[in-house]
A and B are shown apart, each in its own frame.
Chain A
């Protein structure tokens, strides 16, 4: 089955700086890669996603890049703000079997 690894497990950045979280996956058939933001005790909220026919996608301060050859994808948050503090999960799935396999999460702390 799919295995998703995520690094780092914790990340602290100064407000206004950029944050980068990286994930690797094992199943080359995976073709959908969402990123979720989860606040304590709340449900995962989809913040951005990318499909394997696209190398990069951007939505305001958030961007995701995908290297299908290397089987890794990254989340980039620019101009970080205190409200960006949360746990972020990457995930992977295969079209036709939409079960998500999650990474182990990154606790992002934005230092004011």
Chain B
């Protein structure tokens, strides 16, 4: 079965550079979530989109922005990168119009390293 696809899987950037992470949800899923997981930390919610509109916002820095496109894929844009942005970024998707609307399906994650 198709899963959530994230790219790139690994990314190395310098401080003050920009990075873009992509997420392709499970086909027909209408909601995408982004999480940031620092080393040894629990995943922290950043932002979510439902039907291409931002549905919720968590601890996402102002330097970050995200959007969901017409094909339901989502991109997380991170600018002016800082060392503390080094983390594993997970995307998850769900289908709100389903019997298990609450279940999130996670991608493999994108590991960002800022040097």
A contact residues vs B (CB 8 Å cutoff): 32, 34, 41-46, 49, 51, 89, 93, 95, 97-105
Contact = CB atoms under 8 A, between A and B. Distances in A.
A100 B56 contact: no
Contact of B102 (A45, A95, A101): A95
A100 B79 CA distance: 25
Contact of B109 (A32, A43, A51): A43
Nearest to B58: A99
Given A98-B104, A99-B56, A100-B104, 6 more contacts: A34-B103, A51-B102, A89-B43, A98-B94, A102-B43, A103-B42
B45 A100 contact: yes
Contacts of A93: 102
B101 interface: yes
- A interface, over-half SS: strand
18 contacts: A32-B102, A42-B108, A43-B107, A46-B104, A49-B102, A51-B102, A89-B43, A93-B102, A95-B102, A98-B33, A99-B45, A100-B45, A102-B42, A102-B43, A102-B44, A103-B42, A104-B41, A105-B42
Interface residues of B, number: 23
- Output the residue of B31, B42, B103, B111 with the most chain A CB within 10 A: B42
- Output the residue of A43, A95, A97, A105 with the most chain B CB within 10 A: A43
A99 B43 contact: no
B88 interface: yes
B9 to A, nearest CB: 10
B103 A49 contact: yes
